[in-house]
Amino acid sequence: MKLAFSTLGVPGLPVPDVIALAVAHGYHGVELRAHPEEPVHPGLAPARRAEVAAEFKEAGVEIVGVAGYARVATPGDDAAVLAEIRALLELARDLGAPFVRVFPGGDADLPREEADAVAARRLGTAAEDAAALGVRILLETHDSHPTGADAIRVLGPVGHGHVGALWDVMHPWRAGEQPLDTYAALAPHLGYVQVKDIASADDPTPVPLGAGALPLAECVEVLSRNGWDGWLCWEYEKRWHETAPPLPDLLTPARDHLTRLLTESA
């Protein structure tokens, strides 16, 4: 497996500095948070997109994915959601990134079956754009669909190779789903895995990898035992927890911890 980190942990950091962190701390790739407050987002001019892609390529660091904020199960007009996904797909294509992250984002007032159907319909439509652009859309285990069992209710009906899953290890576990069950549900669709650690099941404050409550060793062991060989991307949610320690100081210990877990599970 290859190791990456998300720019959510270093909000607003210029691209050259992000690349320098990856190189200095031995990470193979970076997940780019695609939000207007970040240096890379769907409003970026074509020339700058080409420059960013070239900067990463020159440094030998891969762009794992574009982490967007489209919400595929949210009530409302399909057209707006599909346009948002299309913009993310075009950005990923221009950057040479293989994946785009989307959220479920279902409304609490929307019945589960309706939310599933809305999400599946939109992803099925967006899949055609994804295929044409050579990018894969990944539905993250998050918010209204936190578990693998939830995600598969959407992904199963879509049934398209350019729509898959992003396993954020925190949300299924907090919802009571065991890593083996999450993997079993998502395995046919799995794009990559976001790892993290938190203070406790009731307190999602980010902590250094291995210092918290999440069963990271079990997650890595499940992946290794099943021969999965994709990306492990550390999503350190510094953006939402300003008092959390800065990411740069934690990058090397996190890499060492993940490497040790991979070695022990081999």
At 120-145, the pLDDT tens digits run 999 999 999 999 999 999 999 999 99
At 192-247, the pLDDT tens digits run 999 999 999 999 999 999 999 999 999 999 999 999 999 999 999 999 998 999 99
36-45 burial, b for 16+ CB within 10 Å, e for fewer?
Answer: eebbbbbebe
Work out the number of other CB atoms within 10 angstroms of the CB of residue 74.
Answer: 21
Please tell me the predicted confidence (pLDDT) of residue 105.
97
Q: Structural domain tally of the chain?
A: 1
Please tell me the predicted confidence (pLDDT) of residue 15.
98
Cα separation, 82 vs 70, whole angstroms: 8
Helix (H), strand (E), coil (C) string for 172-227 = HHHCCCCHHHHHHHHHHHEEEEEECCEEECCEEEECCCCCCCCCHHHHHHHHHHCC
Is residue 241 packed enough to be buried (19+ CB in 10 Å), middle (13-18) or exposed (0-12)?
A: middle
Residue 108 confidence class, pLDDT cut points 50, 70, 90: confident
CATH number of the domain where residue 186 is located: 3.20.20.150
At 9-61, the pLDDT tens digits run 999 999 999 999 999 999 999 999 999 999 999 999 999 999 999 999 999 99
Beta strands in 37-189 (DSSP E): 62-71, 99-103, 136-140, 163-168
Please tell me the predicted confidence (pLDDT) of residue 52.
98
Residue 118 confidence class, pLDDT cut points 50, 70, 90: very high
Q: How far is CA 212 from CA 107, 139, 145, 220, in A?
A: 30, 25, 23, 15
Question: Structural domain of residue 254, as residue ranges?
Answer: 2-265
Residue 66 confidence class, pLDDT cut points 50, 70, 90: very high
Q: Is the dihedral of CA 197, 199, 204, 206 positive or negative?
A: negative
Residue 109 confidence class, pLDDT cut points 50, 70, 90: confident
3-class secondary structure, 69: strand
Please tell me the predicted confidence (pLDDT) of residue 213.
97
Considering just the CA atoms, what is the radius of gyration of the chain in Å?
17
Instruction: Say which residue the tokens 């320690």 belong to.
Output: 245
pLDDT higher at 109 or 181: 181
Q: Is the dihedral of CA 164, 172, 242, 16 positive or negative?
A: negative
